[in-house]
């Protein structure tokens, strides 16, 4: 299945792109998507545990199953002050 991925802040800098489309197996979770992305963009590996993920504009747990056509976003942690 095809998944659209959007990159924000330093994830955009690491990947060198704003968005990408990837292929994933049916039933893939966000953790599976992160594994695919970390393989494609090795620079993400260092930050993989601090990157938040969202599906279709809603924050989601790594155990969330994605579906064909979903939009996944990689977001840095929110800092406040």
**4-58 tens-digit pLDDT:** 999 999 999 999 999 999 999 999 999 999 999 999 999 999 999 999 999 999 9
pLDDT value at position 81?
52
Residue of higher predicted confidence among 79 and 1: 1
Instruction: Tell me the CA distances in angstroms from 7 to 12, 26, 27, 66, one per residue in order.
Output: 5, 22, 22, 17
Residue 3 — very low, low, confident or very high, per pLDDT cuts 50/70/90?
very high
pTM of the full structure: 0.91
pLDDT value at position 79?
66
pLDDT value at position 76?
87
Measured in whole angstroms, how far is the alpha carbon of residue 51 from the centre of its chain? 8
pLDDT value at position 78?
74
Q: Domains of the chain by range and CATH? A: 2-75 (3.10.20.30)
């Amino acid at each position: 299945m095809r998944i659209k991925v959007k990159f924000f802040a330093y994830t955009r800098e690491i990947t060198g792109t704003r968005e990408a489309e990837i292929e994933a197996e049916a039933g893939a979770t966000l953790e599976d998507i992160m594994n695919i992305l970390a393989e494609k963009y090795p620079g993400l590996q260092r930050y993989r545990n601090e990157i938040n993920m969202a599906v279709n504009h809603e924050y989601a747990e790594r155990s969330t199953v994605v579906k064909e056509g979903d939009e996944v976003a990689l977001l840095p942690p929110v800092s406040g002050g």
